[in-house]
Amino acid sequence: MIARLEGRLIDIVLWGSLAAILIFFYIPIFTLIAFSFQEGRFLTLPFEGISLRWYGELFRNANALNALWNSTLIAVITTVIATAIGTMAAIAAVRYRFRGSDAFRLLAGVPLAFPQLLLGIVLLLWFSVLGRMLDFSTGITTAIIGHIVYITPFAMVIVAVQVYNFDATVEDAARDCGASSFEVYRYVTIPLLWPGIFSAAIFAFLLSWGNFYLTYSLAGSTRTLPTFIFSGIAIGSSPLYPAIATVIFIPGILLVILANRLRRT
Amino acid sequence: MADEVPRSWRDPDLLIKALPTVLLQTTCFLAPLVMTFLLTFQRSRNFQLQWSWDLWTWTDVFSKPHYWTILGHTIFMAAACVAICLIIAFPIAYGLATRFKAWENEIKVLITFAFITDATLKIYGWALFLDKNGMANYTLSSIGLPPEMVAFLYTDWATLLGMVYSLSAFAIFTLYLSISNIDRSLILAAYDAGAGKFRAHWEVTLPLCKPGIWAGSVLIFLLSVGAFLEPKVLGGGKSPMSAELIRQTFETRVNWPLGAALTLVLMVVSVFIVLLFSRLIGLKRAGLAA
Amino acid sequence: MTAILDIQDVRKSYGSYAALKGVSLSVNQGEFIALVGPSGCGKTTLLKQIAGFEEPDTGRIAIADADMAGVPAAKRPTSMVFQKLALFPHMTVAENIGFPLKLRRTDTAEIKKRVGQMIELMQLKGEYLTRYPRQLSGGEQQRVALARSMVSAPKLLLLDEPLSALDVKLKKVLQAELKRLHRSVGVTFVHVTHDLEEAMMLADRICVMRDGAILQLGTPADIYYRPAGSFVSGFIGETNLLPITVTERTSAGLFYRAADIVDADGRIAADLIAGNVAKGPALLMLRPELLRVLSPGDVADGEIAAEVTEMFGKGGTVQYRARTPGGQMLVVEIPGTSSLPMRIGDKVRLGFTKKDIYVFGAEA
């Protein structure tokens, strides 16, 4: 009797806290979405009306469109490079034994636990000093490098989970069937790691697409959507910014759902 | 699974896979860190970097209590953030690992999305929500409560809320992983031994997911000492934290050596705290074994 | 008979650990050979060297008279059935079986035909072709793995404990299947197992390994009745090893003394003695089923007095444990009958026939 009561109580506590945390997580997101439909000029309640006015403004605003383009460019390049390097690192970290493999894992993973702002600053110093010597200034390329440094470890960890669950004897089996090293990768390793690689790519894209700290430090005068919004927070803002935020959410939610669907199959 | 014989670094397979990471993280992570360290031995004069190779900057750092007050405040906030994250993450992680099976994937998608959405946006959303004219106050006043109830924005509490918001997903995922690795039969054995459900979890689940608790704590602590947006946007910059100070040192005062030194102090102190705690926990474990 | 596989003094070390300490072995065309030994004995390591996943440090491996040094696994005329089967989870059964042919650029129609033949040979249902491995039962997966290994018509089929994960009943079925397959295709099988009983059932010759070296190579009967030493004798079933003292060793045989054994002439013929027996201590082996209970008046070549201490019914047979006055424990196994010839506490005489014993040195 008491045990059943306890079980019921635990269920209530668990589902209750789940509901609470989901509300907590989605308050700012829904606030932004709601404000993006505000008809009036100011971000205050009550709404003057509901309209798509600010989405229209968004697509007429050259700076916003430019930021959208920059975000996309940086995210796509970062995704390709970080996923490729991260996948290879994951195989090396999980499957290979070699001298210094512990040091390798540490080096490959440590940027994960490094505050992004500080990483941005440290890299800014580095690029500034190098830039002074080699005559370049920070911009879209340095931003991409910063993103790759930060995101590659994420990609590595995600693929590593897949590599860890991967039975390496199927590669031996393929070799035994007469496959060359390349054919082993083409027919066995890559197809089997694909769900992990794909999730890693999606995460890489989203982390880069919405990244503020590194872009803020490293992109020079180039604006991406997040830094564009940040500038909007600073000066008394209009619903244009919530509208941009909502636009940023869209690929995110689509890709996360897709990644999860794929990982399940 | 892993190799039986260690590979040589001349193995092309290993080189192809490990070298890009090694090159990337040495040239764009380690080298910048080393250079940051070297920069602290230079001076800044009239917003220009001077290669002087002395301890001038470090003298400055150690002689101004102001920096250390801010550091102390930062550490305190980070510790509070860790504690709150763990408390709110535990029931979610436990539920995900045991009770929410039917909805596990949907819940994970919802949490992941909220987590992976960029901090700027979410913090901005909170600022709008908590604003004097925002949703929170509007809701309160519309049900007849005085809006001053939520004079919440621009306080340390708002900063803390933002930090917990940004980082609690780390605790949820690390705890979830370690709880789902616990052998269910151990908990059943505890029931069998006559423990109630709460008791069983207190005695079995909690100790066994210590690695997850520890990993989550370290990650959240290290990331939250670098919190910048939360104190700036939600805390209104009233009680600045280290990251904000460092940012200002670079941006407004254009003092690179001092900024570099403050960055290093923040990193070294937080890593030291992590090591200290891991040693304390390690000692306790050794004590139990003996 | 020609040797299809010839291994000469192969050595392999992993760091400071010597996994193979000089192994030589010759396998005949069409033979079914089993490599047996406890885990860590080097049997799987040896198989890996044959398959080409690893290269030996020194020594020579030749398959069909061709030296395999430097030939990668993909190019060897061998095919492996893996312990965990290693079926490709993302390919259908047909794709799995056809994979070796696809890599050899065989044309699609030919692949289809050969896969069909394999399916038939392995007695799998045709509708399985489009299924994925995880949709099949353990036994069916085994058959698919075998089919994949056989489809490229290898000269040597290497089996790395493929049956070890199965339950007893299924294991028996697949053992019979392997035997049938071996007879019908005539390919040479090298089968690694830690289960000597399985090796006895399947193999023409058995190679018992320990600590990276071959202890004994022989037919199942040799291994069972004429083991090279106590390790081999104890590796299958239970056995009785009685310490004896060899008083005289000649080319014709030996004379011995033993505390518990009553033996009129005390003499053992040369064909019942292992090579490593010299004057001094040795072990006399008696398989439990070759001991019998003597009724009063019965006589036997040798006799041992003992007191029954335990009794286990095993269904078809009954096993007794008995202690000799000298403290030696003996295991006796006799066919089960409805009336039991001995009870716990009985003092009995156990008899054996001279030709059923075997003597080997005390050390190994």
Nearest by CB: A31 against B13, B128, B226: B128
**What's the CA gap between B215 and C341, in Å, rounded?**
67
- CB interface of C with B, residues 9-68, below 8 Å: 14-15
Nearest by CB: B18 against A104, A129, A245: A104
For residue A174, pLDDT beyond 70: yes
Nearest by CB: C74 against A167, A169, A178: A178
Sorting pLDDT into bands at 50, 70 and 90, what band is B290? very low
Q: What is the pLDDT of residue B287?
A: 45
Is C74 close to A176, i.e. CB distance below 8 A? Answer: yes
Is B95 close to A104, i.e. CB distance below 8 A? Answer: no
For residue B284, pLDDT beyond 80: no
Give the residue-averaged pLDDT of B208-216. 83
Detail the DSSP E strand segments found in chain A. none
C26: which residues sit within 8 A by CB, 6+ positions away? C3, C5, C6, C7
Sorting pLDDT into bands at 50, 70 and 90, what band is B139? confident
**Partners of residue C79 in chain A, C-beta under 8 Å:** 176-177
For residue C75, pLDDT beyond 70: yes
Domain span holding position C208? 3-230
Q: Are strands C188-193 and C32-36 parallel, antiparallel or unpaired?
A: parallel
Same domain, C242 and C120: no
**What's the CA gap between C37 and C228, in Å, rounded?**
14
Q: What is the pLDDT of residue B115?
A: 81
The per-residue DSSP string of C116-170 comes to: HHHHHHTT--GGGGGS-GGGS-HHHHHHHHHHHHHTT--SEEEEESTTTTS-HHH
Is A191 close to C90, i.e. CB distance below 8 A? Answer: yes
For residue B95, pLDDT beyond 50: yes
Per cent of chain B over pLDDT 90 is 17
The per-residue DSSP string of C69-103 comes to: TT--GGGSSEEEEBTTB---TTS-HHHHHHHHHHH
Cβ distance A93 to A160 under 8 Å? Answer: yes
> What is the dotted CATH code of the domain comprising B65-289?
1.10.3720.10
Q: Is residue A205 part of a domain?
A: yes
Q: What is the pLDDT of residue B157?
A: 87
Question: How many Cβ atoms from other residues are within 10 Å of residue C192's Cβ?
Answer: 27
- Of C362 and A20, which is predicted with more confidence? A20
C-alpha distances (whole Å) from C105 to each of A178, C102, C303 are 11, 5, 69
Within a 13 Å sphere around the CA of A134, how many CA atoms are in the beta-carbon half?
9
Query: A173 to chain C: nearest residue by CA?
Result: C86
A141: which residues sit within 8 A by CB, 6+ positions away? none
Sorting pLDDT into bands at 50, 70 and 90, what band is B150? low
Q: Where are the domains of chain B?
A: 65-289
**Partners of residue A168 in chain B, C-beta under 8 Å:** 1
- Of B143 and B120, which is predicted with more confidence? B120
Residue finishing a domain among C213, C230, C247 = C230
- CB interface of A with B, residues 58-117, below 8 Å: 84-86, 88-89, 91-92, 94-99, 101, 104, 107-108, 110-117
**Partners of residue B5 in chain C, C-beta under 8 Å:** 14-15
Phi, psi (degrees; rounded to nearest 5) at A202: -65, -45
Is C152 close to A178, i.e. CB distance below 8 A? Answer: yes
Residue among A100, A99, A107 nearest B28 (CA)? A107
- CB interface of A with B, residues 137-166, below 8 Å: 145-146, 148-149, 152, 156
Count of structural domains, chain C: 2
Nearest by CB: B36 against A122, A168, A256: A122
Per cent of chain C over pLDDT 70 is 99
Domain span holding position A198? 64-264
- Residue C203 belongs to domain with CATH number: 3.40.50.300
Q: Give the H or E element holding residue C193.
A: strand C188-193
Same domain, C220 and C351: no
| pLDDT (tens digit per residue) in A114-124 | 888 889 989 99
Same domain, C145 and C15: yes
Ranking A7-11, A179-183, B191-195 by mean pLDDT, the lowest is: B191-195
Q: Which residue has the tokens 């066919």?
A: C335
| pLDDT (tens digit per residue) in B227-256 | 888 888 888 777 788 888 888 888 888 888
Ranking A94-98, B82-86, C143-147 by mean pLDDT, the lowest is: A94-98
Per cent of chain A over pLDDT 90 is 25
Which pair of structure tokens corresponds to residue A118? 């500080």
- Could you tell me how many residues make up chain B? 290
Most confident range (mean pLDDT) of A133-137, C208-212, C311-315 is C208-212
For residue A13, pLDDT beyond 70: yes
Is A92 close to B17, i.e. CB distance below 8 A? Answer: yes
Phi, psi (degrees; rounded to nearest 5) at C212: 75, 15
Query: A7 to chain B: nearest residue by CA?
Result: B197
- List the beta bridge partners of residue C282: C244, C361
3-state secondary structure string, chain B?
Answer: CCCCCCECCCCHHHHHHHHHHHHHHHHHHHHHHHHHHHHCCCEEECCEEECCCCCHHHHHHHHCHHHHHHHHHHHHHHHHHHHHHHHHHHHHHHHHHHCCHHHHHHHHHHHHHHHHCCHHHHHHHHHHHHCCCCHHHHHHHHCCCCHHHHCCCCCHHHHHHHHHHHHHHHHHHHHHHHHHCCCHHHHHHHHHCCCCHHHHHHHHHHHHCHHHHHHHHHHHHHHHCCCCHHHHHHCCCCCCCHHHHHHHHHHCCCCHHHHHHHHHHHHHHHHHHHHHHHHHHHHHHHHHHC
Same domain, C219 and C243: no
**Partners of residue A180 in chain C, C-beta under 8 Å:** 74
**Amino acid (1-letter code) at residue C281:** P
Give the residue-averaged pLDDT of B77-84. 94
For residue A158, pLDDT beyond 50: yes
ipTM beyond 0.95? no
- CB interface of A with B, residues 220-239, below 8 Å: 226-227, 229-230, 233
For residue B1, pLDDT beyond 50: no
Q: Is residue A200 part of a domain?
A: yes
Q: What is the pLDDT of residue B254?
A: 81
C-alpha distances (whole Å) from C38 to each of B253, C21, C191, C265 are 72, 16, 14, 39
Same domain, C201 and C247: no
A237 three-class SS: coil
- Residue A183 belongs to domain with CATH number: 1.10.3720.10
Q: Is residue A87 part of a domain?
A: yes
Which pair of structure tokens corresponds to residue B144? 């007849």
- Could you tell me how many residues make up chain A? 265
Same domain, C220 and C318: no
For residue C66, pLDDT beyond 60: yes
The per-residue DSSP string of A1-46 comes to: -HHHHHHHHHHHHHHHHHHHHHHHHHHHHHHHHHHHTB-SSSS-SS
- Residue C315 belongs to domain with CATH number: 2.40.50.140
Same domain, C222 and C242: no
Which pair of structure tokens corresponds to residue B135? 């949703």
Each as own residue / partner, the long-range contacts of residues A19-23 (CB below 8 Å, 24 or more positions apart, any chain) are A21/B88, A21/B92, A21/B111, A21/B168, A21/B172, A22/B107, A22/B110, A22/B111
Q: What is the pLDDT of residue B194?
A: 67
Residue among B43, B49, B80 nearest B61 (CA)? B43
**What's the CA gap between B24 and B19, in Å, rounded?**
8
Q: Give the H or E element holding residue C10.
A: strand C3-14
| pLDDT (tens digit per residue) in B14-58 | 888 999 999 999 999 999 999 989 988 988 877 777 778 888 888
Phi, psi (degrees; rounded to nearest 5) at A75: -65, -40
Q: Is residue A208 part of a domain?
A: yes
For the beta sheet containing C240-250, the strands, ordered from the edge strand earlier in sequence to the opposite edge, are: C267-269, C253-257, C240-250, C280-286, C358-361
**Partners of residue C15 in chain B, C-beta under 8 Å:** 5-6
- Of C263 and C99, which is predicted with more confidence? C99
Q: What is the pLDDT of residue B289?
A: 42
Nearest chain C Cα distance for residue A163, angstroms: 14
Nearest chain C Cα distance for residue B5, angstroms: 6
Average pLDDT, chain C: 89
| pLDDT (tens digit per residue) in C221-277 | 989 888 888 888 888 778 899 999 999 888 888 999 888 888 878 888 888 888 888
Give the residue-averaged pLDDT of C155-181. 88
Cβ distance A164 to A91 under 8 Å? Answer: no
Count of structural domains, chain A: 1
Give the residue-averaged pLDDT of A168-179. 89
Q: Is the dihedral of CA A129, A134, A135, A137 positive or negative?
A: negative
For residue C49, pLDDT beyond 80: yes
Query: B161 to chain A: nearest residue by CA?
Result: A24
Ranking B146-155, B248-257, C109-118, C172-181 by mean pLDDT, the lowest is: B146-155
Cβ distance B114 to B197 under 8 Å? Answer: no
**Partners of residue A112 in chain B, C-beta under 8 Å:** 219
| pLDDT (tens digit per residue) in A246-259 | 888 887 778 777 76
Residue finishing a domain among C202, C230, C258 = C230
- List the beta bridge partners of residue A182: none
Question: How many Cβ atoms from other residues are within 10 Å of residue C167's Cβ?
Answer: 9
Q: Is residue A70 part of a domain?
A: yes
Nearest chain A Cα distance for residue C149, angstroms: 7
Q: What is the pLDDT of residue C7?
A: 94
Same domain, C226 and C242: no
Q: Is the dihedral of CA B145, B147, B153, B154 positive or negative?
A: negative
Is A176 close to C80, i.e. CB distance below 8 A? Answer: yes
**Partners of residue A10 in chain B, C-beta under 8 Å:** 99, 197-198
Residue finishing a domain among C206, C230, C254 = C230
Same domain, C247 and C149: no
- Of A265 and B154, which is predicted with more confidence? B154
Same domain, C181 and C288: no
Query: C83 to chain A: nearest residue by CA?
Result: A169
Same domain, C276 and C150: no
Nearest chain C Cα distance for residue A179, angstroms: 6
